[in-house]
């Protein structure tokens, strides 16, 4: 294949892990005979500093021209405690989602055998847990009508039928490709928007008789996720609930630095780690690049290049098994590898594989 990739490194540890993501992409493309070219673009706080806009039009055009976007992270503490800041790095992320029509955000929760002890949950609860959350990404409170003055404020949790149908369809189709179990998470006992989700969910469940569909309130789902993570196969939910539940699910594996994600929809798909920009670690060569590397795997799998994805996953597993690990997942007394060194080990593994 011929890949044109837009690389958006962003802020904090973004540039360091982005470089590793590109190196691994190159190694895999070389191995499998794919041509790949990159176009780099700015976003987040970096873009605010340079041009005053966290997702400039030039970056948008670069994304639109590409087959896929390899995104790293945005966010800078200098904006966090300033409620009067006119423009924030996160707005760049939201603009990217809206402009690229990225309505489906796929966040897998996967465990690694040798890291089970790192989980805040008991190993026996976590061992074998494997589910994905599909988060609606361009609707709900994030994008609904907003108002704020000194006395009152509101955000509107608006969802239309087509928006709900298209994301539930993604959920049902994923369940079909996995273990045929879909959990639709809502708050239908309180919210009108959730009642419409549930109604449409029931209508669509009838069209997917091979998928066992259940409906669960979000408060209950958040409890179930830590009590019995193995219950879940595919979860589908609205934007805000998905934001919260995927932070919860991301820590089950033991390190947020391990989990990739894909955002897909109307235009170019985006592949990015679930974790953020970790500004305190910027330039220290300590950030775990595995989530970024696994985002590469998700990209290949999106294009149905299964062997490419599988080789990346194998290399990642091998690096963990070989104790080539960044500090936060290293065993006691083990050598702490840097971001760059973990990346080099994985590239080397890919190059040497047959």
Residues recognised as catalytic: 142, 187, 219, 243, 247
Cα 278 to Cα 73: distance, rounded to the nearest angstrom: 9
- Considering only residues 227 to 256 of the shown chain, the ones binding Mn ion according to CB under 5 A are 243
The three-point CA angle 225-227-233 to 5° equals: 40
Q: Which is nearer to Mn ion, 32 or 79 (CB)?
A: 79
What track of x and - describes contact with ligand IPM for positions 231 through 270 (by CB under 6 A)?
A: ------------x---------------------------
Binding at 173: pick from Mn ion, ligand IPM, none (beta carbon under 5-8 Å per type): none
Spell out, one character per residue from 61 to 80, where the chain touches ligand IPM: x when CB under 6 A holds, - when not. Answer: --------------------
Identify which of 115, 106, 105, 130 has the alpha carbon closest to the alpha carbon of residue 225.
130
Q: Percent helix, strand, coil in the chain (nearest 5)?
A: 50, 20, 30
Please say which residue, 29 or 259, places its beta carbon nearer to ligand IPM: 259
Q: Which is nearer to ligand IPM, 79 or 303 (CB)?
A: 79
Structural tokens at position 110: 């996967």
Which does residue 93 bind out of Mn ion, ligand IPM, none, counting CB within 5 to 8 angstroms by kind?
ligand IPM
Structure tokens at 124: 């026996």
Q: How far, CA to CA in Å, does 265 sit from each of 68, 98, 137, 169, 186?
A: 12, 10, 10, 12, 22
What x/- string results for residues 94 through 133 when contact with Mn ion is judged by CB under 5 A? ----------------------------------------
At residue 89's C-alpha, the angle toward residues 288 and 40, to 5°, is 65
CB atoms within 10 A of CB 35: 10
Our CA angle for 79, 84, 86, nearest 5°, is: 75
In the complex, the smallest distance separating the C-beta of residue 93 from ligand IPM, rounded to whole angstroms, is 5
Nearest residue (CB) to Mn ion, 36 versus 226: 226
Nearest approach in angstroms of CB 178 to Mn ion is: 23
90 interacts with, out of ligand IPM, Mn ion, none, CB within 5 to 8 A per kind: ligand IPM
| Beta carbon nearer to ligand IPM, 218 or 311 | 218
CA 292 to chain CA centroid, nearest Å: 10
* Ranges within 128-157 binding Mn ion (CB under 5 A): none
| Token pair in block for residue 211 | 């998928």
* Three-state SS at 72: strand
> What are the structure tokens assigned to 224, written together?
């179930």
Q: Would you say 54 or 201 has its CB closer to ligand IPM? A: 54
How many CB atoms sit inside 10 A of residue 238's CB? Answer: 28
| Residue 286: contacted member of ligand IPM, Mn ion, none (CB under 5 to 8 Å, by partner type) | none
Sheet of strand 2-10: strand arrangement: 35-41, 2-10, 68-73, 270-273, 260-264, 104-110, 130-136, 234-237, 181-186, 212-217
> Minimum CB separation from ligand IPM for residue 90, in Å?
4
User: Taking the CA atoms of the chain, what radius of gyration do you get in angstroms?
Assistant: 20
155 touches, from ligand IPM, Mn ion, none (C-beta below 5 to 8 Å by class): none
- Asked if 93 is part of the footprint of ligand IPM (rule: CB under 6 A), the reply reads yes
Tell me which of ligand IPM, Mn ion, none is bound by residue 134, counting a contact when its beta carbon lies within the kind-specific cut-off of 5 to 8 angstroms: none
109 secondary structure, DSSP code: E
Q: How far is the CB of 70 from Mn ion (least distance, A)?
A: 19
The binding site for ligand IPM (CB under 6 A) comprises 90, 93, 243
The binding site for Mn ion (CB under 5 A) comprises 243
């Amino acid at each position: 294949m011929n890949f044109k990739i837009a690389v958006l490194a962003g802020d904090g540890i973004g540039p360091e892990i982005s470089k590793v993501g590109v190196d691994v992409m190159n190694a895999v493309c070389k191995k499998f005979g794919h041509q790949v070219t990159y176009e780099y673009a700015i976003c987040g706080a970096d873009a605010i500093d340079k041009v005053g806009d966290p997702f400039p039009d030039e970056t948008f055009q670069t994304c639109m021209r590409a087959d896929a976007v390899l995104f790293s992270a945005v966010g800078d503490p200098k904006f966090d405690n300033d409620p009067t800041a006119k423009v924030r790095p996160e707005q760049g992320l939201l603009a990217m989602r809206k402009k690229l029509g990225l309505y489906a955000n796929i966040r897998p929760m996967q465990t690694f055998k040798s890291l089970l002890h790192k989980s805040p949950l008991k190993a026996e609860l976590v061992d074998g847990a494997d589910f994905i959350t599909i988060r609606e990404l361009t609707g709900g409170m994030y994008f609904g009508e907003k108002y704020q003055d000194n006395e009152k404020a509101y955000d509107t949790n608006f969802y239309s039928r087509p928006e709900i149908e298209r994301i539930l369809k993604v959920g049902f189709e994923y369940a079909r490709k996995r273990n045929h179990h879909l959990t639709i998470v809502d708050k239908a006992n309180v919210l009108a928007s959730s009642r419409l989700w549930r109604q449409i969910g029931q209508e669509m469940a009838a069209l997917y008789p091979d998928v066992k569909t259940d409906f669960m309130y979000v408060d209950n789902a958040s409890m179930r996720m830590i009590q019995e993570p193995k219950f879940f196969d595919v979860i589908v939910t609205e934007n805000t609930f998905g934001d919260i539940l995927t932070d919860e699910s991301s820590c089950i594996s033991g390190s947020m630095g391990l989990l990739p994600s894909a955002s897909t929809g109307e235009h170019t798909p985006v592949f990015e780690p679930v974790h953020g920009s970790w500004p305190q670690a910027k330039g220290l060569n300590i950030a775990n690049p595995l989530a970024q590397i696994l985002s590469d795997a998700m990209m290949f799998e999106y294009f149905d290049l299964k062997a490419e994805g599988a080789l990346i996953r194998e290399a990642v597993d091998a690096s963990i098994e070989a104790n080539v690990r960044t500090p936060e997942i290293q065993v006691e007394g083990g050598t702490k590898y840097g971001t760059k060194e973990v990346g080099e080990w994985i590239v080397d593994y890919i190059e040497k594989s047959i």
